[in-house]
A and B are shown apart, each in its own frame.
Chain A
Amino acid sequence: MTMSDVLILGGGVTGLSTAYHLARRGVRRITILEKGPVGDGSSSRAGGIITGLLWSEPGVLARRRALELFRELSDELDGYTFGAVGCLNLFDPASWPDRARLLPLYDRCGAPYEILDTDALRRRWPALVFADGLTGLHDPLGGYSEPHEYVPALARRVRELGVTIREHTTVTGIATAGGRVVGVQTSDGALAADAVVATVYGWTNLLLAPLGLPLPVKSFVHQRYVSRPLAAPPALPAINANHLMGYVRPAHGGRLLAGIESADRAEWRVTGTNFRLTELQAPPGIDAVLHDRFSGFVPALADAPWESAHVGLLTFSSDGEPVLGPVGALPGLFVGVAFHSGGFAYNPVSGMLLAEYVSAGRTSIDVSAFSPDRFAASETAQYLNETVPQRDVVRRRH
């Protein structure tokens, strides 16, 4: 039986980043097991928007590091450039007071921001139409990544660092003995390892529930669209337009990328390991709703119909925060999942933190609040039994 020091399950951005940071720390025998090609999950479908201005201290501190790491990777990875355009978070008068309460947190954590009233917004981005009463919270360090650049570039780098990526290898179970993880079963036979890191996102409970350790996580269908190239692409940051229930950002080749929530849909239950995101469909007509709504905000979009659509899953935990770290009940098992709608934004640091947990047993940023052990088994069981509509999940963007 082949022996790895660390097996990483899932070749999305979280798994790739974990492998990258483990390899950078000197770990030699690292294997990623991915049931499809690399990036077959949500990672290649993401909008790739990132802001550092989240809602909890560990989140803000972790994102600050993620923003640094995106910039470092932008230098290091061939074929990937971080879109350092800033990130603008927009709030209507009803939602702003809640966010304003978080400003002391940003000050304390050293996360820079700018507050812009409607007039200031209009002066700064004249190509956009801001409704009266909007407040802008601008993150000068935010921006975006193009997943179709980032994912293959990171996978290439990870291979260069000596990591084995086994595509088209499905993990069918996590092997335990004597109360600890000793490896996995795959479609290709058993593999032994000292540590197993599960970064399988929407598929997480298919591997954890059989161990009696399900997590209270739920997935929802989400979709984003890319326009045809615009004749005169306007200058704009990555924008979380909360009042429009969506987001928009510049995209490659003078295009725009936008995404929107579909509040009326129930959760999506992933019932089998073989499930692929290609089976998902956006709600009928949502592309037109998105186009209408955002053309009013970004008039340049009006003449540029959607060229492509991507549909994937967003996975949330019951309290809205990521689930990341060692599983106390099963030494040797680590998980990283449920990054609300910001798993792409988290990935450079979620991988770093998982690598630190695996190789050093502790992290350079205190993310104990993300521990998988924070949920009571009874609450998890109850949460998993309920059907949660999308409007009821903790509404947190990127």
Chain B
Amino acid sequence: MASLRIGILGSGYMGATYAECIARHNQRATLVAIAGGSRAPALAATYGVAHLDDDAALFARDDIDAVLIATPHALHHDQTVRAAAAGKHVLLEKPMAPSVAECDSMIAACERAGVTFEVIKTLRFRGSISRALQLIADGAIGRVRMINGRTLAAGTGIEEKHWAARPESGGMLLDMGCHNFDIICAFAGSEPRRISACVETFAAPAHRRLSAMSQISFADGAMAQMWMSFEMPRPSLPDHVHRYLVVGETGTLDIDGYGALALGRDGEWREIWRQPPIDWINRPFEPVRLEAFFRQTQSFIDDILDGRPATVAATQGRRAVAMVEGAWRSALTGATVELDTI
């Protein structure tokens, strides 16, 4: 197979983002068709590819090897299981699914079908975070001991009518929490064992699970805290929207997800890199934004074509959902949750 033939399910902001990546930038991949969502016909026309009526039509196509699913969370399980049954490889937008039970069933379906199943975690591929991960891998701060993460904003940016605000979508703890927990695990380089959390929604009636504080311990003794809130009073904390401190044996990383990456070691702080500004609304397809998405789609393509192990395995998508579920259960009763019970 010289080129991976890909169909996209979903035509929203993310569907359009991945269409741009695959059609214009990815190597060894062809965008074949787009289905799903009111914007699908226009999106397909933009890239001169087929527009199909629904997901079934996409799964039925012989000239599609892999599907990229960027639909509402609640559809992920059903669509992944059916794509696998049709023999398609799957690259699935985060969060993998609203529940661990669904994740397990999706993983089993893909194993049965013998298809590759990867989950999108673009934050790992984003500038300062991906560089921080590389520094940790290179031993720049020694073994990771402690992590503190903050994702703080004055609002979700999601309209109340949008599907992501509906209760079945699992609220912001699922939507953003699955990112945060995945990044924390990637920094720790160890498996999470226990979580305890408080989860609240202080204000906005239509949105759910907007604020959470979690405490996580890892198999190798590392520990982490994650504070997430989408109901900060304005003007919130402009410089701390998405920030992590990663403390190792010999040094510290200060990672602003959309700003500077600094390394504190040998008695001094050094700025390693600084994220150029991203204009999410007006210039979404500038390389500075597209980079992270492009890198993830390319990894998926290369994994399949070169027979490599998954870059972001579905089991890691499941792990993040398990942490979200663990955080919610812990918040429900106040008890610490052993993650291997989920």
Say whether A3 contacts B78, CB under 8 Å.
Answer: no
From B74, B78, B201, B205, give the contact of A180 (CB < 8 A). Answer: B74
**At the interface, yes or no: B334 with Cβ under 8 Å from chain A?**
yes
From A26, A177, A183, give the contact of B332 (CB < 8 A). Answer: A26
How big is chain B's contact interface, by range? 20 to 34
**At the interface, yes or no: A362 with Cβ under 8 Å from chain B?**
yes
**At the interface, yes or no: A179 with Cβ under 8 Å from chain B?**
yes
From A26, A183, A360, A361, give the contact of B167 (CB < 8 A). Answer: A183
Say whether A361 contacts B333, CB under 8 Å.
Answer: no
Residues of B within 8 A of A3 (CB): 201, 205, 208
Say whether A26 contacts B334, CB under 8 Å.
Answer: yes
**At the interface, yes or no: B108 with Cβ under 8 Å from chain A?**
no
Say whether A359 contacts B74, CB under 8 Å.
Answer: no
Say whether B98 contacts A331, CB under 8 Å.
Answer: yes
Known: A177-B168, A178-B72, A179-B168. A361 touches B341 (CB 8 A): yes
From A25, A179, A182, give the contact of B78 (CB < 8 A). Answer: A179
**At the interface, yes or no: A92 with Cβ under 8 Å from chain B?**
no
Residues of A within 8 A of B334 (CB): 26
Say whether B74 contacts A361, CB under 8 Å.
Answer: no
CA distance A26 to B199 in the complex (A): 14
Say whether B342 contacts A361, CB under 8 Å.
Answer: yes
**At the interface, yes or no: B130 with Cβ under 8 Å from chain A?**
no
Say whether B167 contacts A177, CB under 8 Å.
Answer: yes
**At the interface, yes or no: B305 with Cβ under 8 Å from chain A?**
no
Closest CB in chain B relative to A162 CB, distance in Å = 13
**At the interface, yes or no: B329 with Cβ under 8 Å from chain A?**
yes
Residues of A within 8 A of B102 (CB): 331
Chain A 314-338 interface 0/1 with B at a Cβ cutoff of 8 Å (1 = within): 0000000000000010010000000
Closest CB in chain B relative to A368 CB, distance in Å = 14
Chain B 67-107 interface 0/1 with A at a Cβ cutoff of 8 Å (1 = within): 00000111101100000000000000000001101100000
Residues of A within 8 A of B77 (CB): 179
**At the interface, yes or no: A232 with Cβ under 8 Å from chain B?**
no
> Smallest CB-CB separation from B98: which chain A residue?
A180
Say whether B168 contacts A180, CB under 8 Å.
Answer: yes
Enumerate B44-86 residues with CB–CB distance to A below 8 Å: 72-75, 77-78
**At the interface, yes or no: A1 with Cβ under 8 Å from chain B?**
yes
Closest CB in chain A relative to B223 CB, distance in Å = 23
Residues of B within 8 A of A183 (CB): 167
Chain B 315-342 interface 0/1 with A at a Cβ cutoff of 8 Å (1 = within): 0000000000100110011110100011
Residues of B within 8 A of A1 (CB): 205
Say whether B333 contacts A359, CB under 8 Å.
Answer: yes
Known: A25-B333, A27-B332, A177-B74. A182 touches B167 (CB 8 A): yes
> Smallest CB-CB separation from A358: which chain B residue?
B332
Chain B 139-176 interface 0/1 with A at a Cβ cutoff of 8 Å (1 = within): 00000000000000000000000000011110000000
> Smallest CB-CB separation from B208: which chain A residue?
A3
From A180, A182, A331, A360, give the contact of B329 (CB < 8 A). Answer: A360
Closest CB in chain A relative to B298 CB, distance in Å = 31
Closest CB in chain B relative to A217 CB, distance in Å = 24
- Name the prevailing secondary structure of the B interface residues: helix
Residues of A within 8 A of B75 (CB): 178
Residues of A within 8 A of B333 (CB): 25-27, 359-360
Chain B 195-212 interface 0/1 with A at a Cβ cutoff of 8 Å (1 = within): 000000100010010000
Residues of B within 8 A of A331 (CB): 98-99, 101-102
CA distance A102 to B169 in the complex (A): 48
> Smallest CB-CB separation from B101: which chain A residue?
A331
Closest CB in chain A relative to B115 CB, distance in Å = 22
Q: Which of A3, A178, A194 has the most CB of B within 10 A?
A: A178
**At the interface, yes or no: A384 with Cβ under 8 Å from chain B?**
no
Residues of B within 8 A of A182 (CB): 166-168
**At the interface, yes or no: A149 with Cβ under 8 Å from chain B?**
no
From A25, A26, A27, A177, give the contact of B166 (CB < 8 A). Answer: A177
Residues of B within 8 A of A176 (CB): 168
> Smallest CB-CB separation from B338: which chain A residue?
A360
Residues of A within 8 A of B332 (CB): 5, 25-27, 359
CA distance A328 to B73 in the complex (A): 18
Chain A 175-191 interface 0/1 with B at a Cβ cutoff of 8 Å (1 = within): 01111101100000000
Chain A 294-328 interface 0/1 with B at a Cβ cutoff of 8 Å (1 = within): 00000000000000000000000000000000001
Residues of A within 8 A of B201 (CB): 3
CA distance A390 to B73 in the complex (A): 47
CA distance A3 to B209 in the complex (A): 11
CA distance A178 to B75 in the complex (A): 7
Q: List 15 A-B contacts (CB under 8 A).
A: A26-B333, A26-B335, A27-B332, A27-B333, A177-B166, A178-B72, A178-B168, A179-B168, A183-B167, A328-B101, A331-B101, A359-B329, A360-B333, A360-B335, A361-B325
10 tightest A-B CB contacts, nearest first: A178-B74, A178-B168, A26-B333, A177-B168, A26-B334, A182-B167, A25-B333, A359-B333, A331-B99, A27-B332
Binding site for B on A (CB under 8 A): 1, 3, 5, 25-27, 176-180, 182-183, 192, 194, 328, 331, 359-362
Besides the contacts A3-B205, A3-B208, A178-B169, what 6 more A-B pairs have beta carbons closer than 8 Å? A25-B335, A179-B168, A180-B74, A192-B167, A360-B333, A361-B325
Binding site for A on B (CB under 8 A): 72-75, 77-78, 98-99, 101-102, 166-169, 201, 205, 208, 325, 328-329, 332-335, 337, 341-342
